[in-house]
Amino acid sequence: MKLYVDSFPSPVAEILLAVDERGAVKHLEFVAPSVGRTREHHLARYERSGEVAFDAAPGAEARRQVEQYFAGDRTRFELELAGDGTPFQREVWRALVAIPFGATTSYGELAAQIGRPNASRAVGRANGTNPIALVVPCHRVIGVNGSLTGYAGGVDIKRALLDFERGQRDLITPPARRASGASA
């Protein structure tokens, strides 16, 4: 399978986007070297999946919607998703997409929601393997006590995304202003 990869800045971190021939999103991930999620780490995984071409055109709609999200103009994504996973993982990821913008839930609540109330750890593992960050909003899942548990992009990115969705939009500096050195 051929993957088309694009890289672009976001207010919280660089994003790598990989789509298939149809433009369906296979991966959307934050580059977060502090937690071992380097560009090379992500690209090596994509290359194991098949041929990789650096071409922004096939993923243009996904990129547009992500940019709208960070501009505050989108709270729900309308993209075809094609993340690889087991049937259980896909069930968890479908439940993640149903978590409203600005809301959070716990692993236990998510497990109960999918009809598996004793599977909170398995839900946590499925959440952690989500290949389509932000669009499949795994950042909205927190510990039962309200703590910000792990996040593939790092807890700092998770915190920034949750704060942003709760209306603290000044915490995220738009990429153009960040690059020019302007303050928010």
Q: List pLDDT tens digits, range 46-75.
A: 888 778 899 999 999 999 999 999 999 999
Average pLDDT over residues 167-172: 67
Question: Above 50 in pLDDT, residue 24?
Answer: yes
Q: Where are the domains of the chain?
A: 2-71, 87-170
138 is catalytic: yes
The catalytic residue among 15, 28, 111, 138 is 138
Question: How many whole angstroms separate alpha carbon 162 and alpha carbon 64?
Answer: 21
Q: Which residues pair with 54 in a beta bridge?
A: 5
- pLDDT of the residue at 34: 75
Question: How many whole angstroms separate alpha carbon 53 and alpha carbon 6?
Answer: 9
Cα torsion angle, 84, 46, 4, 61, sign: positive
Question: Above 80 in pLDDT, residue 3?
Answer: yes
What pTM does this model have?
A: 0.86
Question: Above 60 in pLDDT, residue 176?
Answer: no
Domain 87-170 falls in which CATH fold?
A: Arc Repressor Mutant, subunit A (1.10.10)
Question: How many whole angstroms separate alpha carbon 10 and alpha carbon 76?
Answer: 17
- pLDDT of the residue at 9: 94
Question: How many whole angstroms separate alpha carbon 116 and alpha carbon 51?
Answer: 37
Question: How many whole angstroms separate alpha carbon 184 and alpha carbon 182?
Answer: 7
Is domain 2-71 in CATH 3.30.160, yes or no?
Answer: yes
Length of the chain: 184
Amino acid at residue number 116: R
Quickly tell me which residue has 């999620």 as its tokens: 37
Query: How many H-runs (helices) and E-runs (strands) does the chain carry?
Result: 7, 6
